[in-house]
């Protein structure tokens, strides 16, 4: 459930008409709902309320400081994968002891930054990383808590580009080698083994892969304890999918996911960490755009909007579907006609949807791309020199710009022409 609904014939974010935001900020623009972010975060908390836990929001899904501040103030931890994300989490007021650092290629500078600033745990993905982290920790006179990310070799049954838990993926160390790697980690100075980490993929719509992976994790936890490692935390990663189509069967709910966690790793006495991103932010945001005009092609109509693949790349990159809603509600029975919804960028890949049934839309009318709160703005670029898309946060009947649209002058001012060209 989210807070984007029609009221009085107009699509609203909570109590704010999207048309009012478009008038004030222009389009394209991302619009997020505070109530939805809060609700989704609390659902995960409730799903794990049977045990000690920390819900670490995956910052990569939506890294706007206002969103991080909102979630951090609710008690969220953060899962970061770069020095930039670490700095964002801290700037949003999240203490280091609630931040976990994941990622296959952390640099020594990033390690030092997080150790100096405070960190709950590093999720280490390889032996070279163990060695580097040990050196950096020692050079700073620190001992850092670590979990090793283990690759359980399960099929997450999701899009190949976002599956991470098969042995052929670059992530983690093979589960068969885990005991050896933990022995190595325990012997290295500056590191303190505290847990096990896994993340098997994103947009999972079936709980079975989680069950398989967490069952393997439970076995590994017992084996590692028998080897003498004090495993106290299990980081289960993120990955629970969201409904991208309003009319389709919805993926499992956080509460059902929490039940699988309980059944698989619930009796080990470990603190549970999870790293949901999409499930918290995805349906808490829409991308609001305006129709430029409709163009008649050979046997098909193109609805050209002012948002493009540089603003929301998921359809071009993963063939992802985002429901598209007219902001002005149509009476039931209004005849929809199939159109291709495209942006102005000069690539055929700049297509949001093919042959989707939409009512006739006037030039200048507003449309909303749903489920755009995760992996939307964070993946935006300035391709075709289109200024970075702005972001707005709604809370009840108020809205605030949480990232303004840069002017074209600001965009140009970042470049430098060397002396020898002038």
# residues contacting ligand LLP (CB under 6 A): 21
DSSP 201-249: BSSB--SHHHHHHHHHHHHHHHHHHHTT----EEE----B---SSTTSP
Q: How far apart are CA 7 and CA 15, in angstroms?
A: 9
Minimum CB distance to ligand LLP, residue 406 (Å)? 23
| Tokens 């020095």, residue located | 83
Q: How far apart are CA 319 and CA 405, in angstroms?
A: 27
Which residue lies nearer to ligand LLP by CB, 205 or 290? 205
User: In which element (H, E) is residue 409 found?
Assistant: helix 408-413
Tell me: does residue 375 bind ligand LLP (CB under 6 A): yes
Alpha helices in 294-375 (DSSP H): 314-318
Tell me: does residue 290 bind ligand LLP (CB under 6 A): no
User: Any binding-site annotation on 276?
Assistant: yes
The neighbour count for residue 46, using CB atoms within 10 Å, is: 12
First to last CA, the chain: 57
Tell which one of 278, 322, 386, 405 touches ligand LLP (CB under 6 A). Answer: 278
Q: How far apart are CA 2 and CA 33, in angstroms?
A: 8
Given 56, 221, 270, 346, the catalytic residue: 346
Identify residues 35-64 at the interface with ligand LLP (CB under 6 A): 58, 60-61
Tell me: does residue 82 bind ligand LLP (CB under 6 A): no
Tell which one of 238, 266, 326, 373 touches ligand LLP (CB under 6 A). Answer: 238
**Closest listed residue to residue 373, CA positions, set 305, 322, 309, 325:** 322
Which residue lies nearer to ligand LLP by CB, 339 or 345? 345
Tell me: does residue 162 bind ligand LLP (CB under 6 A): yes
| C-alpha dist (Å) from residue 19 to 9, 117, 312, 389, 391 | 12, 42, 20, 17, 15
User: Closest residue (Cβ) to ligand LLP?
Assistant: 238
Tell me: does residue 152 bind ligand LLP (CB under 6 A): no
56 as an active site residue: the answer is no
Strands 4-7, 10-13: pairing is antiparallel
Reading the block at residue 90, the tokens are 């801290």
> CB within 8 A of 258, min separation 6: which ones?
44, 46, 47, 48, 50
Q: Contact at 8 Å (CB) between 373 and 283?
A: yes
Binding-site string for ligand LLP from residue 301 to residue 320, where x marks contact by CB under 6 A and - marks none: -------------x---x--
Tell which one of 203, 290, 310, 371 touches ligand LLP (CB under 6 A). Answer: 203
State the DSSP code for 141: T
User: Any binding-site annotation on 347?
Assistant: yes
User: In which element (H, E) is residue 255 found?
Assistant: helix 254-265
Q: Which stretch binds ligand LLP (CB under 6 A): 8-16, 196-204, 360-368, 408-416?
A: 196-204
Tell which one of 2, 14, 66, 79 touches ligand LLP (CB under 6 A). Answer: 79
Which residue lies nearer to ligand LLP by CB, 199 or 216? 199
Identify residues 244-273 at the interface with ligand LLP (CB under 6 A): none
Which residue lies nearer to ligand LLP by CB, 205 or 212? 205
Q: Is the peptide bond before 271 cis (omega within 30 degrees of 0)?
A: no
Minimum CB distance to ligand LLP, residue 244 (Å)? 10
Identify residues 390-419 at the interface with ligand LLP (CB under 6 A): none
User: Any binding-site annotation on 110?
Assistant: no
User: Any binding-site annotation on 318?
Assistant: yes
Q: How far apart are CA 155 and CA 167, in angstroms?
A: 9
| Tokens 């994103």, residue located | 202
Which residue lies nearer to ligand LLP by CB, 172 or 190? 172
Tell me: does residue 237 bind ligand LLP (CB under 6 A): yes
Q: What share of the chain is helix, strand, coil (3-state, %, to 5)?
A: 35, 25, 40
Which residue lies nearer to ligand LLP by CB, 14 or 85? 85
Which residue lies nearer to ligand LLP by CB, 183 or 379? 379
Identify residues 122-151 at the interface with ligand LLP (CB under 6 A): none
Tell me: does residue 90 bind ligand LLP (CB under 6 A): no
Known binding-site positions for pyridoxal 5'-phosphate? 239, 275-278, 375
Known binding-site positions? 239, 275-278, 314, 318, 347, 375
Residues with a catalytic annotation lie at 346
Contacting positions for ligand LLP (CB under 6 A): 58, 60-61, 79, 102, 162, 199, 202-203, 237-239, 275-279, 314, 318, 374-375
């Amino acid at each position: 459930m989210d807070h984007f609904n029609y009221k009085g014939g107009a699509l609203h974010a909570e109590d704010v008409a999207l048309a009012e935001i478009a008038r004030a900020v222009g389009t394209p623009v991302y619009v997020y709902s505070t109530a939805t972010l809060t609700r989704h975060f609390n659902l995960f908390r409730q799903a794990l309320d049977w045990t000690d836990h920390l819900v670490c929001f995956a910052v990569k899904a939506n890294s706007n400081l206002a969103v991080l501040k909102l979630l951090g103030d609710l008690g969220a931890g953060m899962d970061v994968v770069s020095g930039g994300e670490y700095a964002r989490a801290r700037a949003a007021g999240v203490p280091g002891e609630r931040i976990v650092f994941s990622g296959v290629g952390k640099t020594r500078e990033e390690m030092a930054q997080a150790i100096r600033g405070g960190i709950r745990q590093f999720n280490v993905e390889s032996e070279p990383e163990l060695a580097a982290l040990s050196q950096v920790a020692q050079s700073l006179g620190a001992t850092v808590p670590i979990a090793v990310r283990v690759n359980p070799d399960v099929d997450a049954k999701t899009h190949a580009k976002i599956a991470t838990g098969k042995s052929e993926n670059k992530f983690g160390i093979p589960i068969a080698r885990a005991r050896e790697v933990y022995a190595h980690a325990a012997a290295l100075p500056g590191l303190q083994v505290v847990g096990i980490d896994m993340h098997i993929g994103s947009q999972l719509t079936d709980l079975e892969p989680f069950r398989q992976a967490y069952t393997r994790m439970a076995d590994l936890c017992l084996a590692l304890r028998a080897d003498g490692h004090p495993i106290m935390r299990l980081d289960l990663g993120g990955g629970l999918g969201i409904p991208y189509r309003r009319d389709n069967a919805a993926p499992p709910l956080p509460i059902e996911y929490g039940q699988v966690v309980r059944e698989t790793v619930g009796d080990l006495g470990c603190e549970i960490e999870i790293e949901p991103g999409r499930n918290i932010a995805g349906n808490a945001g829409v991308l609001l755009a305006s129709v430029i005009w409709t163009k008649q092609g050979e046997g098909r109509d193109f609805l050209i909007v002012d948002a493009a693949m540089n603003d929301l790349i998921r359809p071009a990159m993963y063939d992802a579907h985002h429901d598209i809603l007219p902001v002005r509600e149509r009476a039931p029975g209004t005849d929809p006609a199939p159109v291709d919804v495209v942006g102005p960028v000069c690539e055929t890949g700049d297509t949001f949807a093919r042959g989707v049934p939409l009512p006739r839309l006037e030039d200048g009318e507003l449309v909303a791309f749903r489920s755009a709160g995760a992996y939307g703005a964070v993946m935006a670029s300035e391709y075709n020199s289109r200024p970075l898309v702005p972001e707005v946060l709604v809370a009840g009947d108020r809205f605030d710009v949480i990232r303004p649209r840069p002017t074209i002058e600001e965009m140009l001012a970042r470049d430098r022409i060397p002396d020898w060209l002038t």
